[in-house]
A and B are shown apart, each in its own frame.
Chain A
Amino acid sequence: MRRAVVESWLKALGDLLIGNLRSTMLPLPIDKGLCTRWAEGLGVPRGGDTIIYTSCLYQLVPAINKLVSLVGAASRVPELARRAPLGLMRALTRPDEAEAERMSGVVRRIAELLRRSGVEFGYLYEEEPYSGALLYELGFEEAFKEYSAVVARALGRARRVITIDPHTHNLLRNVLPKYQRLDAEVVNYMELIKGVKPSGVVEGEAVVHDSCLYSRYLGLRDAPRRLLDEAGIARREDPYVTGVATSMCCGGPVESINPSLSNSIAAARARDLSRLSKTVVVACPICLGNLSRNAPSGVRVVDLAEAIS
């Protein structure tokens, strides 16, 4: 993309994200009910000392998938994207119902895994804000600085926050403390669950696709491996495909800036992984979305929470 196009698109994208975050605490114009659907019927208490923090990221993936398919065109006419009425944006990013149900299911499974491991937790329901990770990762530092106060305030009453995805975990661990005070202890669900069994979704061997953040920024490279081992799910490793310094990204972080680059990174990654196994296990909603969209036929991408029970 030419520099002028990149710059206009950055402005339009910033406006879209910031406008939505200010009005709904979500980066895209989706129905808040999609964020909380996973908790229906589970009787999770509101708030409390320990809370699960979904950041609505898994639940946003179907809308992100829709958006990414539009970015290529939208970035060429950023003014149109900028002026598109909210109703239109909502319609364009309306998630596919099957995908939305699958993502709610992943979050529900994580909640159940925590409960079975004896972890009690509450949830903020519609008061739960998106973390703002996307703003920070795209470079909108000023806007993030402002929005980070919303996140710190919402999480401020908890003593322990359980994250369920790497972007949110990284945001709370490595980024937010630079801008806000957060006294709560931040832990990831993979560190808390134990005694897991195979769910039956993975037949035979699987290969782990590492989240860059878990693996190289958060010291959680072994966490999904430990859980798969505990469940007795065999995994294939190759030092040049799944090593600390050789496991490549899924391309997710640039999906809203340059989707064709993002897709070609994802396709290359999916191809490399598929040489080891036709079942790829991920532990990140962005990896799940990006690799699924770009996997060669016959290759299945499943979330860790779908693989174990």
Chain B
Amino acid sequence: MRREDWSTAIGRAVEHNVPRTMSVLEKYPYVVDLARELRRAKEAAVANMDEFIDEAMAAVKSLGGRAYLAATAEEARKYVEGVVGRGRLVVMGKSMVAAEVGLREALREAGNEVWETDLGEFLIQLAGERPSHIIAPSLHMTRERAAQVIRDRLGIDVRPDPADIARAAREFLREKFIKANVGITGANAVAADTGAVLLVENEGNIRFTTVAPPIHISVTGVDKIVPTLHHAMMEVLVQAAYAGLYPPTYVNLVAGPSSTGDVEQVRVSPAEGPREFHLVLVDNGRRAAARHPVLREALLCIRCGRCHFHCPVYRALDGDWGIQPYSGPMGVMWSAVIHGVEKAGPHAVLCVHAGTCREVCPMGINIPEVINWVRMQYVNKVAGGGKR
């Protein structure tokens, strides 16, 4: 990526997103209250994480779904590979956790055809690049470059215009949705009391992914578990508003495989939707972080991506700050949760503690303080904290 491309792309993104999000929060002030209530619910979930994991898994099973707790990225890949098999067509709705565990690459290597269906993810999949923002993964691409990528990789004629780029992707992906054997999504929230999984989106690709293929797998972190469906609903609304689009176009609620009771009220499964539902809960450092007095704050993050737009370092580092797929201020915290202090440290030392991220975080996470803790642990390890 050229430096000028990033400057143009981030400049346009900030100019569009920041005022829009501010006006959403001004127009719907109850969302700010919901965010406060959600923080309390998430604090409770993090403080009793193992109990909530058990409750959520039991609830999914009682709905006729299957639930699996993966301790590591490798375990998560193995479980999903076992469900998918080989030679299948897989459609994926944007999931940071799937990217974290390297799912797309693993499924492809196992001989499956795999397509990202979120427009941003689709573009970076075509370009062979990595995401530059957690909810706008192709943030680094200008419209000119996005059109070029589609022309080069798919041979489809497309103009450097966001609407025409969306059209080209839609036409290409429509057939994939219809023919897909498996749909894989993440989750914005998992309700422990009911086993319901909530997904918020605007493109409609997640709705297709959760309904069209006969098998739906949701891969998500254990940090996404909240006590009740009431809280899960709050989380999707808060996430959408702080990401800058409210109301969100779609909120998808998935509670087990599809079923019908229309014939004599006998409940049978499947109906029109998937016959199988799998929830893969990924630990990968999260349960240890939940017990940690500082890092536990990171688990409250709802991945709205707002902190990125307000961070001078993220903006100056061409989006390449934090260990992929996590970037920006939240990404530095999450790099420590998943990869540990030594790998996150070189990122943490670049934080300028501007404090703007903390100002805009819907969960009120003191991100600079968490990063400062990572920095101190790291400097202590590599330079003895300056003690001589």
Contacts and interface: CB of A to CB of B under 8 A. Distances in A.
Contact of B354 (A144, A240, A248, A257): A248
Q: Is chain B's interface secondary structure helix, strand, loop, or mixed overall?
A: helix
A17 B18 CA distance: 39
Interface in A129-165: 135, 137-144, 146
Given A10-B379, A261-B316, A141 B385 contact: yes
A248 B355 CA distance: 9
Nearest to A7: B382
Nearest to A215: B355
A146 B22 CA distance: 44
A217 interface: yes
B269 interface: no
Interface stretch (B33-41, B176-184, B205-213, B307-315): B307-315
A3 B346 contact: yes
B140 interface: no
Interface in B368-388: 372, 375-376, 378-380, 382-388
B312 A248 contact: yes
A80 interface: no
Contacts of A245: 310, 356, 359-360
Contact of A138 (B312, B356, B360, B379): B379
Contact of B356 (A1, A7, A240, A248): A248
Contact of B352 (A140, A239, A252): A252
A124 interface: no
Interface in B296-340: 310, 312-313, 315-317
Interface in A219-274: 239-240, 244-249, 251-254, 257-258, 261, 264-265, 268-269
Contacts of A275: none
A100 to B, nearest CB: 26
B104 interface: no
Interface residues on B, range: 35 or more
A120 to B, nearest CB: 34
Contacts of B83: none
B354 A216 contact: yes
Contacts of A213: 355
Contacts of A30: none
A265 B359 contact: no
B127 interface: no
B316 A264 contact: yes
B221 to A, nearest CB: 26
Given A246-B356, A264-B316, A269-B312, A6 B376 contact: no
Given A10-B379, A261-B317, A253 B352 contact: yes
Contacts of B350: 254, 257-258, 261
B387 A246 contact: no
Of listed B18, B315, B356, B376, residue having the most chain A CB within 10 A: B356
A212 B354 contact: yes
Contacts of B313: 254, 261, 265
A18 B388 contact: yes
B58 interface: no
Contact of B358 (A1, A216, A248): A216
A15 interface: yes
B45 to A, nearest CB: 27
B346 A265 contact: no
Contacts of A141: 376, 379-380, 385-386
A46 interface: no
B187 to A, nearest CB: 29
Interface string A1-45: 101001100110011011000000000000000000000000000
Contacts of A261: 313, 316-317, 350
A137 B313 CA distance: 16
Contact of B312 (A18, A143, A258, A265): A265
7 contacts: A3-B346, A141-B380, A141-B386, A212-B355, A254-B349, A268-B316, A269-B312
Given A7-B383, A142-B386, A212-B356, 17 more contacts: A6-B346, A10-B349, A10-B382, A14-B383, A15-B388, A18-B386, A139-B385, A140-B386, A143-B386, A216-B354, A240-B18, A245-B359, A248-B312, A249-B356, A251-B316, A261-B350, A265-B316
Interface of B: 18-19, 22, 310, 312-313, 315-317, 346, 348-356, 358-360, 372, 375-376, 378-380, 382-388
